[in-house]
Structure 1
Amino acid sequence: MMVHLNLFMPEIDKDLRNKLVTEITDTLGKVMNLTGEARESLSIFLDTYKKSDLAVNGHFLNGGKGRKAVHVIEVHGTIMPHELKKRMAADLTNTYCKVLGLDKDARHVVRVTFMEHSAHNIALGGVMLDEMHLARK
C-alpha cells in the first residue's frame, strides 16, 4: 500500500519539521505494519503558510462544526478499511499534537482527511500527486 501525505500547517523551524516527518513516518509504519523497504513507499510533503495566508486559504481549512482547522493532514492512498482509517486518523492526530506541543483543548484545529485512489493511479506515483498539489495553488 503506497501512501502520500500532504500537511498544511503554519510555518515551523527546520528541526521541528524534521522531527515531525520522522515521527509521522514511524506512526504510519506502525499503523500499517510497514517495515524496511515498505516504509520507503511513504512520502510526506509539508506545505506551510504564514498566518496572514489563513484568510486566503480559509475555504480549504474548514474544520467543520463552525471551526477552522489550522492544521490539515491529507492522506492519499489506496482504498482502506474504515477501521484502519479511524486508527490512522487518531494516531496521526496524537503524533502531530505531541510533536507540535498542542494540548487536548487545541486538537480541534487538526483535521485528517483521506483521499483514496486506485492502486494504478498511486503507482503512477508522485506525478499525479504533485500535479494535484500544483493544481491547488
Structure 2
Amino acid sequence: MKNQRILKQNDAAILSRLAEQLLRLGEVEFNAGEELLDMISTAKILAAGTERKDCAALYSVVTYSPANIEDRRSVTIVCPHEANPQLAHVSVLSPIGLALIGRKTLHIVDVALPSKRMEKIKLLEVANADMTSEVE
C-alpha cells in the first residue's frame, strides 16, 4: 500500500489509550480520537520489540521539508502533555505530528493546516531520541 503508516506496537498502544481519552471528551467538532483510531486500524503494526529506523515514531526526531523547498526543519514527536515549541517537541495530535507519525523517510505526505489548507511535506530523516513516556 502506497504511503502506508508503520507503527511500533508500543506506539499503537499509547495512541490507542490517547484516542480513548479523547473520545471520552466528546462534545468537540473535530475529535482527534477518531482520527487516531482510524490511523491505527489502517496501519501496519510491528511485532513487539521490533522497530523500523526509517519510520517516524513517538519520541523520534524527524527532519522534513515542505515539498519542493530546500528548507529543512526538525521536530520530536511527543505525547500532547510533553509538547514544547521552544524545544521543537510537537504533539502527535498537531497537524504535523498526525501527518508524520508512522510515515517512512522520503515519502511525501499531506499536512492538514488549521486554515483548511493542505501542505505537502517530505520526510527526510528519522533519528531516535532518548525519551519515552506513557499517556497520563
Q: Which protein, 1 or 2, shows the higher relative CO under an 8 Å CA cutoff with sep ≥ 6?
A: 1
Q: TM-score, normalised by structure 2?
A: 0.30
Which structure features the higher share of helix residues?
1
